[in-house]
Amino acid sequence: MIIVLNMKRRLTPQREAILELIGSSDRHWDAESIAKMLARKGRAIGLATVYRGLAVLEEEGLIHAIQLTDGKKRYERAGKEHHDHFICKLCGSITEFSHPAEARILEHLSRETGAVVHGHEFVVFGVCASCREAS
């Protein structure tokens, strides 16, 4: 059981099941996959409830969403070390990466514009090695 402190809203059994599933792996989950996996584990939750639960968990800062070009959001647990994402346009796989150049780019932005950067998301699209090999 996961204990969550300082939530504005109650951690319902459905939200807890969603949070446990997302937190148990490094996978990037969409709502449909969450509903299917929970059903396979004997914890069937309706898709609308999954969507509402995801919205609450994201609002509480317990999970993080990545918006993809296919219109679907993918979710991962929050609190991981900062990273960005490479998404294969053929198979949809998501690979996490980070690079020290990002910090230099953000520093440059702040210096040049006087802006204060509170965060960023960097998503790269392309074709993964597996799909390239298969073609």
For 42-86, the pLDDT digits (tens) are 999 999 999 999 999 999 999 999 887 777 899 999 988 888 899
How much is the pLDDT for 1?
Answer: 45
* Domain positions in the chain: 1-80, 81-135
Residues near 89 by beta carbon (within 8 Å), at least 6 away in sequence: 125, 126, 127
* Dist. CA 63–CA 79, nearest whole Å: 8
The answer to whether 15 and 52 have CB atoms below 8 angstroms apart is no
Torsion of CA 62, 68, 73, 75, to 10 degrees: -40
Per residue in 18-31, pLDDT (tens digit) is 999 999 988 899 99
**pTM of the predicted structure, to 2 decimals:** 0.76
* Dist. CA 119–CA 116, nearest whole Å: 9
Class level of CATH domain 1-80:
mainly alpha
Which fold, 81-135?
A: Dna Ligase; domain 1 (3.30.1490)
Residue 122 is given by DSSP the state -
